[in-house]
Structure 1
Amino acid sequence: MPAEELGVLIKSAQAVLNQRMDEALRPLGLTVSQYACLQNLLDEPGITGSELARRTFVSRQSANVLLQGLERRGLIERSDDPGPRRERAIALTAEAKQLVATARDEVAAVVTRMTAPLDGARLRTLLSELAACRDALLQND
């Protein structure tokens, strides 16, 4: 069944992509989840912990554990005052901003390797089709 094959292929591609990203990020002392967390904090300052958990594909509790580790490492700082949602604001340190810039380059190299067989038109089509598949699954949520 082609639909079933598609699901297996997407999961397989995701697993290999995660493995390659992990290999690229390991020398920087980051996991894929830590990188995703830092990248989201950089891209959207003031993001809530709940939204951060959703965007990094982990539970709220796992996101808190990630943040605690990043804080111990000196990569994030939390304000002492709770914000309007009773969550303490999280900010990246200067060290974290430099680390994310380097990590983004490493991840971009992995994605470039993954998409090398595709010309621009095929890549745009793939992006569009995968977005349509995702959106179809999100309907009625």
Structure 2
Amino acid sequence: TTHTYEDEVKAVQNAKEAGLQVCVGGIFGMGETFAQRVELAFSIRELGTQSLPINFLKPIDGTGLDHLETIEYYDALKTIALLRLVLPKIDLFVCGGREEVMTDKQEQLFSAGANGILGGNYLTTKGQDPKRDIEMIRSLGLRPIASITQD
């Protein structure tokens, strides 16, 4: 990264002071400890952001993190639950990597504490068909609040 952690925190604070709604995200499965996840949760709480997109690392060949294993399913659920406990009012969205980590159990993201997902493709990887996400959400008795598709 080209910015220090302090630079990033100041940018969030400046945006909030300007009246903007701010989200701060995290990528899990990069070799961090659970204690570091706890530390991140409390740091985000201190920043007072409105939303938190959660990503799970999907190691890609040829990158500096291609030697890492995909985060375990139960570890992902524990991380979501931790974030929900520390950040009870935040919008918690699960985004990249959820298809690989959760496979056919993606609906359990909501039981663990997530209140949203980001569907479609991501910056560097393909996601699943958004229609599948909408079907999953509806099967849980929930209602998608936005659906944007791109042909």
Task: Identify whether the pair has TM-score above 0.5, normalized to the shorter chain.
Answer: no
Q: Which has the higher contact order (CA 8 A, sep 6+)?
A: 1
Shorter chain as denominator, the TM-score bin is under 0.3
With normalisation by structure 1, the TM-score equals: 0.25
With normalisation by structure 2, the TM-score equals: 0.24
Larger radius of gyration: 1
User: By percentage of residues, which structure has more helix?
Assistant: 1
